[in-house]
Amino acid sequence: MSVQERTYIMIKPDGVQRNLVGKIIARFEERGYKLIALKMVQSTPEHLEKHYADLKGKPFFPGLIKYMASGPVVCMVWQGLDAVKTGRVMLGATNPLQSPIGSIRGDYCLAVGRNICHGSDSVESAEKEIALWFPDGVVQYTSAMESWIFE
């Protein structure tokens, strides 16, 4: 567990369409995580198949790719202590109906196939996903940059 730990969080097309971008960003900022990369993209089925390569063969895979390519997504990298595991807790369970109230999915959605956000499930997959979505790299944020806030 490291204060420099990074996780890849993506707001899915339904989260974007439902104007939940600001609320989701606010949750991570208020918790204390640092936003170190952010962009909105219209992804392609080919790119999404790489992102979800582990799920190829699942019956829901074609529908998942179609849903994820159906509109823009917001791609983010958040950094901070235990970012991967805590990010998943903040998202809630994959199935929103099993997500606790207070989690993003538990508060904002109902259906597993429309669960508004993605979060990396391990440090290793976070690094792979960051490289896939931000091939040019992300800023190196260090506590030295707190000088913008504190003397």
Question: What is the Cα Rg of the chain in Å?
Answer: 15
* Least distance to ligand RTP, CB of residue 58, Å: 7
Q: Which of 92, 118, 120, 133 is catalytic?
A: 118
CB 4 within 8 A of CB 33: no
CB 82 within 8 A of CB 76: no
95 marked ligand binding residue:
no
Rounded to 5 degrees, what angle do the CA atoms 26, 79, 46 make? 90
Interface residues toward ligand RTP, by CB under 6 A: 55, 60, 64, 94, 112-113, 115, 118-119, 121
Residue whose CB is less far from ligand RTP, 123 or 141: 123
150 marked ligand binding residue:
no
Residue whose CB is less far from ligand RTP, 39 or 66: 66
Q: Strand 6-11 vs strand 73-79: parallel, antiparallel, or unpaired? A: antiparallel
31 marked ligand binding residue:
no
Residue nearest to ligand RTP (CB): 94
Catalytic residue flag (residue 118):
yes
90: Cα separation from own chain's centroid: 11
Binding-site residue set for ATP: 12, 60, 88, 94, 105, 115
